[in-house]
Structure 1
Amino acid sequence: MKALIRVTGAVQGVGYRPYVAELANKYELSGEVKNLGGIAQIIAEGDEEKISSFVNELKNSSPSGSIVLHVSLDYLKSSEPESLSRHSGFRIVGSSGEFDETYLPVFPPDIGICPDCMKELLDKKDRRYRYPLISCASCGPRFTILKELPYDRETTTMDVFSMCNECSLEYGEGRRRHAQTISCHKCGPQVILQEKSNASKVKCNEHECEENIETREGDEAIIRAIEILQNGGIIGLKGIGGYQLVASPYNFETVQRLREIKGREQKPFAIMFDDLSDIAKICNVSEMEKDYLLSSARPIVLLDKKEDPFAENVCGYSRQIGAFLPSTGVHKLITKVFKELIVTSGNISGEPMIISDEEFNLKFFDKIDGVLFNEREILRPLDDSVIQIIKNCKGKESPRFVRRARGYVPLPLFLEKTLKENAIYEAFGADLKNAFAIGFGDKIIQSQFFGDMEDYSILKLQKKELSDFERIFKTANLKADRKIIIADLHPGYHSTAIAKDYTKESEEILADKHQDIEFKQIQHHHAHIGSVMAEHGLKDCIGVAFDGTGFGTDKTIWGSEFLICRGGEFERAAHFKPVRIVGQDEAMKNARVSAACYLYDAGLDIPAKMLKDSELQLLKSALENNINAHPNSGMGRLFDAVSCILGVCDYNSYEGECAIRLQNAAEEYLDKVSGNYSFYDKTSEDILCGEYIEERIFSDMVVLNEKDGRLIPDISRVLEYMVCNLASENTGRLAYAFHYALAEITKDLCIRISEKCGIRDICLSGGVFTNRLLLGLCERLLVKEGFVVYYNRVFPTNDQGISVGQIYLADL
């Protein structure tokens, strides 16, 4: 018998064809396997019972890193296609340029160094001992070096490196069989260290050079890079997804210099550790956190500190450490010496991660002490992913993305409901934490995190990456008679403008193909809720979106929304009282402005220490005359205001700093009153929900108004209590009470809204819900009332998740 078998899923770049070949030999089948577009196509010839067993094993097992979605089996006549009986055994053949026009391909992300390669890296007897770019069929770069599908060496940036005899032999059999990144000391890309020499001036091209460049290669380069770090220096390091800056976390002056180089004032740095045991010495590590740290994605995992041995300007006031493990051989060789290192993205804060050797040298070479790079080209930047593990009210752990990038992109969201037939969706997301998404069939593929589109370089990168995604996933070849383009409702967003321009360009292109094009805009907070609905396959819910800002349908700034979501439509059922904020852009940074506006709105005196006399008079004049003062119901500005009023933090040197420090104050208070409170050591509802601590001082102070059928809570009396009692009250107690009050308001509003609409499913989303304390309190109180609570897990709850929600809602 002869069979045609097609396997769909992430089956390229993970050693899937060698796996199939070995399995076919096990069942004594002849035939071939090849990559076809984004799938694996197999022709197997042999006994029917053995073919059936072969297919069953393909369905139930697969190599590490692969994802098998579907395995189809069709028996063929011996002449259709031509019989392969003349071939002995089973072979791997070259990839086909054919493409399944009904299927959006799945491709694996970059994969961290596997245990086998790690062992070889450190084995003196192995020929790849201390080869920094070691990889195999189960690990190494994938998406960052991919030009197009199908995935073969010639379609990656490894195509310029010819294999030596030893690598060629390994390419034919064993663990590196058809490993497209196979290389070694002899034939692969090598590491090179460049640094400024202390030598005197030299003649160069008939001009006098101010300095000479000293170059080392191979292991000498690694050894010298380690020496620089040991001497308190900073090096640039070319990783898998782009350049990184590396420094010791124990040297205060070095860390301060690094902050000045990056333009990063206060935001904590992540720490790369050599081993899990090193992390466990200073951080609490749960089982799920351990699993993610050791996973092939190698994300940064936010862990609660047990102690902080690093220089005070590394993590600062943060209660957590962003910890991660080496993802490549070069990282491991360095951390073996240091145990802990700051490894941060090689860019100026706010700009894209740099992938070009020339650009990195232009921006950083004169500012740092050496650059350790290699000759392999990186095609697209992928920063480290960031994950936070939380526990729900039943004590079950779940991951939540803060940033989704390397190790996860471009893995798709597999939808429970297939998108509309013959339609391609492209969503452009929001301006902050931008990421676009493409939807077709039963999948939505989201791009990596880009950043803030106010920066022109981010805007350019987004356009380039969209073009790359369309080429790689061959969206132009998909069987579709229309394209739906989705943008945010905000008329001033760069992402909205780009989407509109893209629509006009697409209209001209698609006219020749007789395809229709449709442009849609979806309200920002509705899209936040849509991202949760997409992950969980929901059609209706009550959505609670707590966010910084978003353009509303009434043309005011929203951000504390309670939405009744039915299909692709929503009703704004409730929101916090809008407060006029002067100078929106300035207020996003300067929490003193937000605090003063909230106090003014509440009819309260603004403390003299909050603003200078001249600033206070200007602010009052603007509010009294309604000049550059716009209604804002954003939860982000409320957190800023409370943080400032309580004296916790009055300026956001990076996004969300005031809110994070307010959360820290509340959690530190919990530590003291509950006996070393921890989200992992104590899961009692009594502790989190105030029944143990009894911090419900604001429960009767929230005034619930109603306007045009909407419920509008007013917290003016809460702010008044804070101002009047700050001197006598514990700041942490007030910070915790504020969090608890928000959760109580959320519960009460959801009860009233549910009575109106009959919906019992609650979706929580928006950047403010990155706050695990607020999320935990809201979830516990809502679950106690019998609600089913959902929140983001696959995509970030912040604005990066917006584009997924845009596609899901546009399809409902």
Structure 2
Amino acid sequence: MRALIRVTGAVQGIGYRPFVAELATKYKLNGEVKNLGGIVEIIVDGDVKDIRIFADKLKTSAPSGSIVIKISLEYQEENEPEGPSDFSGFRIVESSEDTDNSYLPVFPPDIGICTECKSELFNFKDRRYRYPLISCASCGPRFSILKQLPYDRETTSMDVFLMCPECSKEYRIGRRRHAQTISCHYCGPQMKYISFDNNKDSEDPVNRAIEIIRNGGIVGLKGVGGYQLVADPKNYNTVKRLREIKGREQKPFAVMFNSVEDIRKICNLSPMEESYLTSSARPIVLLDKKKNNHIAFAENVCGFSKQIGAFLPATGVHSLLTEKLGAIIATSGNNSGEPMITSDKEFLSEFNGRIDGILYYDRDILRPLDDSVIQIVKSIDGKEIPRFIRRARGYVPLPIFLSAQLEDKVLYQSFGADLKNTFAIGYGDSIIPSQFLGDMESYGILKLQKKELDEFEHIFKISSLNYQKRVVISDMHPGYYSSELARNFVNKIRDASLMQIQHHHAHIGSVMAEYGLKECIGIAFDGTGYGLDMTIWGSEFLVCKGGSFERVAHLKPVRIVGQDEGMKNAAIAAACYMNEYGLEVPGDILKPDDLYLIKAAIQNNINAFSNAGMGRLFDAVSCILRICNYNSYEGECAIKLQNSAEEYCEDHDAYNILKDTVTIEDSLEINVGELLATLLKLRNSADIGLIAYSFHCEIAETVKNICIEIRKKYGLNTVCLSGGVFANRLLLSMCEKLLCNSDFVVYYNSILPSNDGGISTGQIYLADLLQER
């Protein structure tokens, strides 16, 4: 019997065809396998029972890194024109550019170095001993080197490297069978070192870089998704210099460790945290430092943070560096706010003379992929849940698979928001968000988004999809760069229509997309977002039904002076809040002359904007309690406020000394006047950690109370939490506990960031729900 089998999913670039060939041989099946666009197509001849078992094993025994979504099995008559009429044995044949236009192709992300390759890397008897770019069919770069599908050597930036006889032999059999990144010391890309001093370079570029880093230098390293700056975290002066080079004053640096055992010495490590650290994605995982444990890093690496962003080597060259140096700082090789650099020429031009050398290789990186960042939280029932802070290398371009199909033959393209920008493409049963790109106030990020959007259109063969309608979605903010890009895109595409989705509604839409929800109470807490009334929102209680919403509760708006400076300077936010509620502003928060100018600006409506953002309230409270009065990076004041609260309840039986200081007015507008007045009274006498903890309690109690009122009126019992403020794990856990104890069902982001990185997916999901009306 002959059968045609098509496998849909992430089944290219992970050794799936060799796996199919070996499995077919095991079950004595003749035939062939090939990549067809974004799927794998198999034709087999053999016994029906063996074919059935073979088809089942294609999913249940699939290689690590693969994602099998669907397997179709169709028996054929012997004379049907599918491939050759006769088969002898089983073979892997050339890929075809033909594609199934009813779905978006699925392609795997870059894959961290596997156990076998790492073993070979340090085995002096192996021919790839200390080859920094070692890889196989189960690991190595994928998306960062892909030109187009199907995935073959000639469609990647490996196409310029001819295999040596030994690699050619391995390409036909064994673990590197059809491994498109196969290479070695003799035929693949090679590491090189550029020195900025007068010393003669070592014959071993990696050892030369190790020597420079060990002696306090900073080296530029071409990583898998772009350039990084590598330095010794134990050297205070080196870290200080690194901060000056990047223009990064306070934000903690992530640290790459050599092993899990090294991480465990200084961090608490749960089973799920370890599983993510060692996963093929190799993300940065935010881990709690062990209490009272001396950390051998300089104090300016992590600063005040209670956590360390820890990660493990993703490539051979990272493994070689950490083997000799132990822990290293490996941060993105760019100026803060600018795109990650992938070009050798651009990196040399930017950092020549500013660092001590460059360790790079002669293979192109086709798109920047920053490190993904994950935090593990515990739900009310003690279950560990991963939460993305940044979704990029190791996960992109894996799609978000939906529980229900999007509107038939409608192609969706969303442009996200301006901060933490991502865009997304939606079609069929999936949405593919782009990697984290950055903040679009940077011209470099604007150019990067346009380039990557064009690349996604090409790679995922958008023009060949069987769609009849194209819907482009943007934020409602008329001044967003992303909104302007969406408008320009629609003007150039004849078959496209433009739809706008409100910012905080899109936050809730991202949670709804993850869980396939059609209605909920949506709570979106963040710093700013453009509202329907053309003011700044950010503390939203929304009743979401289908693709529509009603705003039913929020913080009482406060006029805050200045836009950019008002977001950074928490003293301005605190003064504006106290002015709104008729409270006296202490001189240690704002000098009288500055306060006079702010009051005059508010009174005369000069650069003063109505703001209901929860993020600004957290800033104001952090300043009032003298915890932090300026955001040198996004969220710094709120993070330090959270840290103070968490540190207190680690050592004490915490309780709420601010209970009932937040009032909910008849319009469900949240009044924090009494809360702020109480904070001002307590700031000089009580334990600041207790006050910070109590503030979190009051916000969580308010969330519960308002949800109960909404349930009475609208009958909704499902609550979705999203927005950047819910990166605060203490607030999240408090809200979840109180809501669940009040018999609500609570959802929050897990596979998408709760910050603006999840906006683009939420935009598509809600736009599709609107299409169903």
Q: Map 1:105-116 onto structure 2 (within 5 A).
A: 105-116=105-116
Q: Map 1:514-525 onto structure 2 (within 5 A).
A: 517-525=496-504
Q: How far apart are residue 216 of structure 1 and its match? A: 5.2
Specify the SS of the correspondent of 2:158: helix
Residue 760 of structure 1 is aligned with which of 710, 717, 721?
Answer: 717
Specify the SS of the correspondent of 2:666: strand
Q: Which residue number in structure 2 is paired with residue 721 of structure 1?
A: 678
Q: Does residue 804 of structure 1 match 2:761? A: yes
Cα deviations across residues 432-460 of structure 1 (Å, max 9, x unaligned)?
Answer: 00000000000000000011100000000
Q: Does residue 743 of structure 1 match 2:704? A: no
Q: Which residue number in structure 2 is paired with residue 459 of structure 1?
A: 446
8 Å CA contact 2:3, 2:76 repeated in 1? yes
Q: Which residue number in structure 2 is paired with residue 662 of structure 1?
A: 641
Q: How far apart are residue 323 of structure 1 and its match? A: 0.2
Q: How far apart are residue 611 of structure 1 and its match? A: 1.9
8 Å CA contact 2:658, 2:691 repeated in 1? no
Q: Map 1:465-504 onto structure 2 (within 5 A).
A: 465-504=452-491
Q: Does residue 280 of structure 1 match 2:264? A: yes
Q: Which residue number in structure 1 is paired with residue 327 of structure 2?
A: 340
Q: Does residue 45 of structure 1 match 2:45? A: yes
8 Å CA contact 1:261, 1:348 repeated in 2? yes
Q: How far apart are residue 59 of structure 1 and its match? A: 3.1
The TM-score normalised by the length of structure 2 is 0.98
Q: Which residue number in structure 2 is paired with residue 777 of structure 1?
A: 734
Q: Which residue number in structure 1 is paired with residue 252 of structure 2?
A: 268
Q: Which residue number in structure 2 is paired with residue 366 of structure 1?
A: 353
Cα deviations across residues 732-761 of structure 1 (Å, max 9, x unaligned)?
Answer: 111000000000000000000011100100
Q: Does residue 437 of structure 1 match 2:416? A: no
Q: Which residue number in structure 1 is paired with residue 120 of structure 2?
A: 120
8 Å CA contact 2:9, 2:66 repeated in 1? yes
Cα deviations across residues 440-490 of structure 1 (Å, max 9, x unaligned)?
Answer: 000000000011100000000000000000100001100000100000010
Residue 629 of structure 1 is aligned with which of 595, 604, 608?
Answer: 608
Q: State how far apart, in whole Å, the 2-side matches of 1:174 and 1:60 are.
A: 21
Q: Which residue number in structure 2 is paired with residue 704 of structure 1?
A: 664
Q: Which residue number in structure 1 is paired with residue 310 of structure 2?
A: 323
Q: Does residue 249 of structure 1 match 2:249? A: no
Q: State how far apart, in whole Å, the 2-side matches of 1:315 and 1:115 are.
A: 30
Q: How far apart are residue 61 of structure 1 and its match? A: 2.1
Specify the SS of the correspondent of 2:731: helix
Cα deviations across residues 13-48 of structure 1 (Å, max 9, x unaligned)?
Answer: 000000000000011111100000000000101122
Q: State how far apart, in whole Å, the 2-side matches of 1:15 and 1:47 are.
A: 25
Q: Which residue number in structure 2 is paired with residue 162 of structure 1?
A: 162
Cα deviations across residues 146-172 of structure 1 (Å, max 9, x unaligned)?
Answer: 000000000000000000000000000
Q: State how far apart, in whole Å, the 2-side matches of 1:264 and 1:627 are.
A: 31
Q: Which residue number in structure 2 is paired with residue 102 of structure 1?
A: 102
With over 3 angstroms needed to count, the CA separation of the structure-2 counterparts of 1:632 and 1:61, relative to structure 1, is same
Q: State how far apart, in whole Å, the 2-side matches of 1:635 and 1:223 are.
A: 50
Q: Which residue number in structure 1 is paired with residue 536 of structure 2?
A: 557
Residue 599 of structure 2 is aligned with which of 617, 620, 628?
Answer: 620
8 Å CA contact 1:622, 1:629 repeated in 2? yes
Cα deviations across residues 265-310 of structure 1 (Å, max 9, x unaligned)?
Answer: 0000000000000000000000000000000000000000013321
Q: Which residue number in structure 1 is paired with residue 372 of structure 2?
A: 385
Q: Does residue 294 of structure 1 match 2:294? A: no
Number of residue-to-residue matches in the alignment:
766
Q: Which residue number in structure 2 is paired with residue 303 of structure 1?
A: 287
Q: State how far apart, in whole Å, the 2-side matches of 1:82 and 1:371 are.
A: 52
Q: State how far apart, in whole Å, the 2-side matches of 1:215 and 1:493 are.
A: 48
Aligned identity (percent) is: 63
Q: Which residue number in structure 1 is paired with residue 219 of structure 2?
A: 235
With over 3 angstroms needed to count, the CA separation of the structure-2 counterparts of 1:740 and 1:82, relative to structure 1, is closer
Cα deviations across residues 104-152 of structure 1 (Å, max 9, x unaligned)?
Answer: 1000000000000000000010000000000000000000000000000
Q: Does residue 177 of structure 1 match 2:177? A: yes
8 Å CA contact 1:192, 1:215 repeated in 2? no
- Stretches of structure 1 that go unaligned for 5 or more consecutive residues are 200-213, 511-516, 675-692
Q: State how far apart, in whole Å, the 2-side matches of 1:462 and 1:537 are.
A: 28
8 Å CA contact 2:401, 2:430 repeated in 1? yes
Q: Which residue number in structure 1 is paired with residue 344 of structure 2?
A: 357
Q: How far apart are residue 630 of structure 1 and its match? A: 1.2
> Which letter maps to 1:96?
S
Q: State how far apart, in whole Å, the 2-side matches of 1:430 and 1:237 are.
A: 31
Q: State how far apart, in whole Å, the 2-side matches of 1:341 and 1:530 are.
A: 38
With over 3 angstroms needed to count, the CA separation of the structure-2 counterparts of 1:302 and 1:438, relative to structure 1, is same
Q: State how far apart, in whole Å, the 2-side matches of 1:82 and 1:672 are.
A: 70
Specify the SS of the correspondent of 1:608: coil
Q: How far apart are residue 316 of structure 1 and its match? A: 0.1
Q: State how far apart, in whole Å, the 2-side matches of 1:556 and 1:106 are.
A: 40
Q: Which residue number in structure 2 is paired with residue 678 of structure 1?
A: none
Q: State how far apart, in whole Å, the 2-side matches of 1:728 and 1:609 are.
A: 16
Q: Point out the more displaced range, 76-85 or 536-545.
A: 76-85
Q: Which residue number in structure 2 is paired with residue 685 of structure 1?
A: none
Specify the SS of the correspondent of 2:652: helix
8 Å CA contact 2:258, 2:327 repeated in 1? yes
Q: How far apart are residue 60 of structure 1 and its match? A: 2.2
Q: Which residue number in structure 1 is paired with residue 392 of structure 2?
A: 405
8 Å CA contact 1:45, 1:85 repeated in 2? no
8 Å CA contact 2:201, 2:208 repeated in 1? no
8 Å CA contact 2:65, 2:138 repeated in 1? yes
Q: State how far apart, in whole Å, the 1-side matches of 2:306 and 2:339 are.
A: 27
Q: State how far apart, in whole Å, the 1-side matches of 2:525 and 2:201 are.
A: 52
Q: How far apart are residue 85 of structure 1 and its match? A: 5.7
With over 3 angstroms needed to count, the CA separation of the structure-2 counterparts of 1:591 and 1:26, relative to structure 1, is same
8 Å CA contact 1:795, 1:801 repeated in 2? yes
Q: Does residue 27 of structure 1 match 2:27? A: yes
8 Å CA contact 1:550, 1:559 repeated in 2? yes
Q: State how far apart, in whole Å, the 1-side matches of 2:388 and 2:238 are.
A: 30
Specify the SS of the correspondent of 1:160: coil
Q: Which residue number in structure 1 is paired with residue 687 of structure 2?
A: 730
Q: How far apart are residue 365 of structure 1 and its match? A: 2.1
8 Å CA contact 2:108, 2:398 repeated in 1? yes
Q: Map 1:787-802 onto structure 2 (within 5 A).
A: 787-802=744-759
Residue 208 of structure 2 is aligned with which of 214, 224, 239?
Answer: 224
8 Å CA contact 1:526, 1:570 repeated in 2? yes
8 Å CA contact 1:192, 1:216 repeated in 2? no
Q: State how far apart, in whole Å, the 2-side matches of 1:400 and 1:608 are.
A: 40
> Which letter maps to 1:343?
A
Q: State how far apart, in whole Å, the 1-side matches of 2:186 and 2:241 are.
A: 38
Q: Which residue number in structure 1 is paired with residue 195 of structure 2?
A: 195
Q: Does residue 259 of structure 1 match 2:243? A: yes
Q: State how far apart, in whole Å, the 2-side matches of 1:584 and 1:262 are.
A: 24
The TM-score normalised by the length of structure 1 is 0.93
Q: Which residue number in structure 1 is paired with residue 655 of structure 2?
A: 694
8 Å CA contact 1:249, 1:255 repeated in 2? yes
Q: Which residue number in structure 2 is paired with residue 137 of structure 1?
A: 137
Q: Which residue number in structure 2 is paired with residue 10 of structure 1?
A: 10
